[in-house]
Amino acid sequence: MILVDTSAWIDFFRGRRPLAEMVQQSLEANQVAICGPVMTEILRGFKSEKERNVVLPLLEGCRFLSQPDRLWEDAGNCGFHLRRIGKTVKTLDLLIACYAMAHSATILTSDGDFALMKKAGLDIGILP
């Protein structure tokens, strides 16, 4: 299962390689997942009703991950761990990472926060 991060969706919608191709392949293989924080970022980023009408049906075909029971505590603890080693990442990225870990999903992203989290020892899989 591939949790497609907002950055990868943006690359997909803009046709930017290689992420656009990776999202397309994941969609064709029915492996794409989405979570609440990613959905929020996508919904707030629409520039028009037309764009919204094109994208929403595509997202409805994705697996929507349920909120992990300890999401808020886990995200806070991950953030605490990172801050103790001098690293700070966006709160929504912490939440997305916790969704991925709870559902054993790999994150498809171009956002450097996820590579930083992995390098700092969080047990997340990231692509590319």
Domain boundaries, the chain: 2-127
**Which of 38, 124, 119 has its CA nearest to residue 74?**
124
34 pLDDT band (50/70/90 cuts)? very high
Mean pLDDT, rounded, of the chain: 96
CB 96 within 8 A of CB 117: no
Averaged pLDDT, 22-40: 96
Q: Which residue has the tokens 């054993």?
A: 104
Res 45: pLDDT: 92
- Report the pLDDT value the prediction gives residue 30, as an integer from 0 to 100: 95
Please report the pLDDT score of residue 102 as a whole number. 97
The predicted pLDDT at position 74 comes to: 97
CATH number of 2-127: 3.40.50.1010
Mean pLDDT of 51-65: 93
The pLDDT assigned to 118 comes to: 96
Can you tell me the mean pLDDT for 3-31? 95
Return the percentage of the chain with pLDDT > 90, whole number: 97
Which two tokens mark 77? 């603890």
For residue 105, the SS3 value is coil
Give the model confidence (pLDDT) of 42-55 as tens digits.
999 999 999 999 99
**How would DSSP label each residue in 57-68?**
HHHHTSEEPPPP
pLDDT at 81: 95
